Structure 1
Amino acid sequence: MKYKIKIAALILSFLFWSCDIEPEITDSYSDEVAWSSEENLELYLNTFYPLIGQSYYSPAVGLDANTDILKMNSPTDYQNLMAYGSIEITSASNPLGNWNWGYSWIRTCNEFLDGLKKNGDKLDPLIVKRAEGEVRWFRAHVYFELAKRYGGQAILFDDLPKEEHHPLSTSEVTWSFIEKDLDFAALNLPNKGEVPLGKLTKGAAYGLKARVMLYAERWKKASDAAKEVMDMGQYGLYPSYADLFKLRRSANINNPESIVEFGFTSPDFGYSFDYFYTPPGDQGYSQVSPTENLVSSYQMADGSSFDWDNPAHKDSPYANREERFYASILYNGSEWKGRNIETFVNGVDGFAVGGGTTSTGYYMRKLFDGSVKTQDVGFEPGELTYYYMRYAEILLIYGEAMAQQDNLVEALKALNEVRERAGFTQLVDASTKKGFMDLLHHERKIELAFEGHRYWDLRRWGLASDILGNLQWEGTKITKIDDSNFEYEVLNIDNGRNHNFPDRYNRFPIPTVELQRNPLIKQFPEWE
């Protein structure tokens, strides 16, 4: 057997591991080379890391554009066509599916584990256990991505397949399979600080287990796993929400909030995210915009709700808002790259429909590098940090899981810790589980905006059909009166079209090609 290790993966390895080695450069490695040393084992392991962030936040933003918080600016983008029902999810075509991708990676994981089993006696036993823990973490990640799309059901492979066809497992068996992989990873992965930045740790294993168990509605296991992370003493909230998303790997800053991350370095290994999503005044392509639905959800600095019907709010809609608003949204008048954003009609970044500029009156600020005046010097490959998982999510998982176990005291404590970092001094309270969940729904929407959680959250809460099926995207058309005065008009930007989210979208269909080649699998009833 040959273990393929692409040259690009060799470059990636130096981002994660600083060993002074000179590997043989070729398009593949034999068993003897792949398992001959710890250094070559690390090169092999690092080929799995692109699973968690190689494209920076582009997939997350694209996914959030399937919800109420972002809108793609080109009418022909698939997210818009799906929203209006021009493109539908079917067993033959699913832009959000990952069946082939997922099982291809699962086989890759199992090939590694099979090779490790056969050749691990050549290496230090502790290193072998850590390597197995890493790859079983990645396998758990891939199975989780499948499970959340296909109702928790999956074809489970604990090893390389020996039979041609395999049935679907039940959702309970799938969740337990993923849990078993993560328990092994938690037992055998090192603590933060014991391996180079970016490598998987015990915190990564317990953190992903908390996320998985939340989706599985195994509330006690979710809260227990989250508490493991909280009690490690290695993680916490970064002091500034805004600055958290400006950190570079090259700065070598101790960031307690990062549990799993993917680092970039420019120009050798960067990303083009800013080029595609920043405003036209930055010389960007402006492919996506936050909706008024999201912008109105950001609270005032005192914790009260923003309301366009409040005359003071309408007169100065972007004054005295919470800190995360200013960290996340570029609005008309924002100071940005040495200039002021102009989203008014006929402004440099002005409101328009058809693509190339904002269709909502807003742009993202979070996730962009605002330190470079791209309008003057152009774009270089980006090098900010991608967070697959951060401590704020752990607190929100813990809060939700504890509320589902009727422990509102602990749930509110975790929720308020996230809000305190956001600058709020007034604690929120709830006397019922429903009251807490309303707060939790809001907090995840704001805290995790543009990070790819919203679509899956709405589905797992049973709210997607109601919110996305009845959604009307809103934007704010701004007309400039003079240099100090503007007129704001909140309007529907769908041109009267209805949104489309059938109930069956809560579980994606099994692809037609899988049904044709695997006689042990039947289509889900709602898709027959």
Structure 2
Amino acid sequence: MDYIKLIKKYNLYFLAGLLFVVVSCDDDLLDKLPLGEVATNEELGVGGQEAAVFGIYSKTRTTSVGGWSRLWFGSIRSDDAEKGSTASDAAANGNAFNDFQYVATNGLNTEWWNGHYEVIFACNEVINNIESQGLTDEGSLINDAEARAIRALMYFELRRDYGEVPIITATIDVPSDAFAPKSSVADVDQFIIDDLKIAEENLPLTWPGFPGRATSGFAKSLLGKLYLYQEDWNNAYDKLKEVIDSQVYALDPSLINLFEKGGNNGVESIFEIQQTITENGEQYANIYFVSQGVRGTGEWNLGWGFNVPTQDLVDAFEPGDLRKTNTILVSGEEDGGFGGGILPESPPLAQKYWNKKAYTMADMRQEYGVNGNRWENIKIFRYADVLLMAAEAGNESGAISSADVADLINQIRSRAGLPNTTASTRSELRDAIKQERRVELAMEESRFYDLVRWGDASEVLGGLGYLPKHALYPIPQEAIDQSGGVITQNSDY
């Protein structure tokens, strides 16, 4: 089936679910947690914008923010993944992302931009309502902090993909309110920092009754990552060390558990986009995972087959690295303990390799009666990322010894069944960190951005058509046109 038709079908499912939420707001909106678990009245927050904040989380699940656009921007542009599916399916998107033939009119580009600003506008409404109503109770301050943390994430992702973007803080009452000139990257960064500093002070360490809501650990992790992008190594290390020292998070000892339903909001989770499954099995469709599922027939019709690992990624794993079998699913081989048995060969399957982190476990298919994975959360931040960012910041700043840097790396390697790193100099440790980030975070929309910020993209991706201008995507032409020229195009496009 053509992927455009499938997207329309999934969008209809999502809209139907969204309409259900809206029409039943008075009855049970506040009785549903982000994962659809039933809450007691005692567990509910007391913030004046509680319902609106839940609406923000709902918007992060949409196809344009929590869907497959995330794959095209963060994964398929890297050397770890390629378009996949069949040659003709989504060929235009393949050209635009896989082959670096960027176009301002690409539909995924427009969805990504619009979706992020829709979330930002929802955050603005919460923040402005709290201010205009003079709400100062603890619950409302937490609501404000949640909105600021999510707004910061949206601006961080926009800044990462487009560079200069408009900063909009107004509640959108008329369409013209949605347009403003682009701000410099420095100004966008400062705006993000300001939001996150408020958020980290007012958010709780954990949400025992509300899995998936923003925490102070999430705000600190995002702030540390932004400092890393700025090469502000000392501030990055200090902030990431706060996350480590909180002792809230740990590495999940089970790599298999990490990327299946049981790993949702687990010990390693810092922030995830929630997939909603209620107690009666009701699901809110999201195409992030089904778009990556094995493209086969019958019991192996698990998805559309996009975002598949490259041979280069397969070869990047060291012998004995347990992460390889938990990242790479191979046609013609057993699925590695996930209950599905042996995959068909390729051909007839269109691809040799598939993203194991998006694999549909057999028992879940049986439990919910569907082949497409709709129950696994999208991991935005996990503790392994924090450890590796802290190692990088500590190594570059000299804030900690080479032995301490190696210890952070070795925590990751130990879980993967590997011996301690032999790296000891700053240069060797830098290379070791780059390697660990690649294989630990493989297929998690990190690799392309890492290559760009390290200055390695031209060397690694040049043979695929990458040029320095491809670090940033062109602003969607639709946004420029609708703004009447207030928003201007990025240079080189």
Q: What amino acid is aligned across from residue 342 of structure 2 in structure 1?
A: I
Q: CA deviation at 1:370?
A: 2.2
- Is contact 2:39-2:209 (8 Å) kept? no
Which runs of structure 2 are paired with 1:50-199 in the superposition (5 Å)? 50-53=58-61, 58-62=68-72, 63-71=74-82, 72-76=84-88, 77=90, 78-82=92-96, 85=99, 88-93=101-106, 95-96=108-109, 98-121=112-135, 125-151=137-163, 153-160=164-171, 166-193=180-207, 195-199=209-213
In the alignment, which residue of structure 1 is the partner of 2:353?
A: 362
How far, CA to CA, are the matches of 1:49 and 1:135 in structure 2? 9
Counterpart AA for 1:49: Y
**Gaps in structure 2 of 5+ consecutive residues:** 1-17
- Evaluate the alpha carbon distance shift between residue 379 and residue 254 of structure 1 in structure 2; reply closer, same or farther with a 3 A threshold: closer
Three-state SS of the structure 1 residue aligned to 2:206 is coil
> Higher helix share goes to which structure?
2
Q: 2:431 aligns with which of 421, 428, 438?
A: 438
Letter in 2 for 1:173: D
Residue 229 in 1 paired to residue 234 in 2? no
In 2, the alpha carbon distance for the partners of 1:38 and 1:206 equals 24
How far, CA to CA, are the matches of 2:396 and 2:366 in structure 1? 49
Find the counterpart in structure 1 of residue 326 from structure 2: 327
2: distance between equivalents of 1:88 and 1:189? 42
1:122-146 deviations in whole A, cap 9, x for unaligned?
xx61111101101011111111111
Distance 1:103 1:373 in 2: 34
1:503–1:179: structure 2 CA closer, same or farther, 3 Å change rule? Answer: same
CA deviations on 1:264-298 (whole Å, 9 max, x unpaired) are 32631254635861252523245133221111111
Name the residue aligned to 1:291. Answer: 310
Task: Output the amino acid matched with 1:349.
Answer: E
Select between 253-262 and 180-189 the one with higher mean Cα deviation.
253-262
Q: How many corresponding residue pairs? A: 442
Please say which structure displays the higher CA radius of gyration: 1
1:90/1:60 Cα in 2 relative to 1: closer, same or farther (>3 Å)?
Answer: closer
CA RMSD of aligned residues (A): 3.3
User: Is the counterpart of residue 277 in structure 1 residue 304 in structure 2?
Assistant: no
Name the structure 1 match of 2:4.
none
Give, in whole Å, the separation in 2 of the partners of 1:53 and 1:464.
Answer: 30
Identity among equivalent pairs (%): 24
In the alignment, which residue of structure 2 is the partner of 1:461?
454
Q: Does 1:41 align with 2:60?
A: no
One-letter code of the match for 1:416? N
Mapped pair 1:383 → 2:378: no
Q: Is the 8 A contact 2:47 2:141 kept in 1?
A: no
AA aligned to 1:363 is W
Structure 1 unaligned residues grouped into runs of 5+: 22-36, 302-321, 343-347, 471-498
Question: Structure 2 counterpart of 1:451, which letter?
Answer: E
* Residue 235 (structure 1) shift: 0.9
TM-score, structure 1 normalization:
0.74
Give the structure-2-normalised TM-score: 0.79
Q: Could you say what secondary structure the match of 1:142 adopts?
A: helix
Q: Distance in 1 between matches of 2:382 and 2:247?
A: 14
Could you report, residue by residue, the CA deviation over 1:299-351 in whole angstroms, capped at 9, with x for unpaired residues? 112xxxxxxxxxxxxxxxxxxxx111121222233246656435xxxxx3323
Q: For residue 213 of structure 1, report the CA deviation from its aligned partner.
A: 1.9
Q: Does 1:501 align with 2:450?
A: no
CA contact (8 A) 1:140 1:178 kept: yes
Structure 2 distance, partners of 1:286, 1:351, is 16
Output the amino acid matched with 2:357. Answer: K
Q: Deviations over 1:329-384 (max 9, x none)?
A: 22233246656435xxxxx33236xxxx233x222222323233859975376323
| Aligned residues of 1:209 and 1:222 also touching (Cα < 8 A) | yes
Q: What is the correspondence of 1:392-403 to structure 2 with a 5 Å cutoff?
A: 392-403=384-395
Question: Which whole-Å CA distance do the structure 2 matches of 1:511 and 1:294 have between them?
Answer: 31
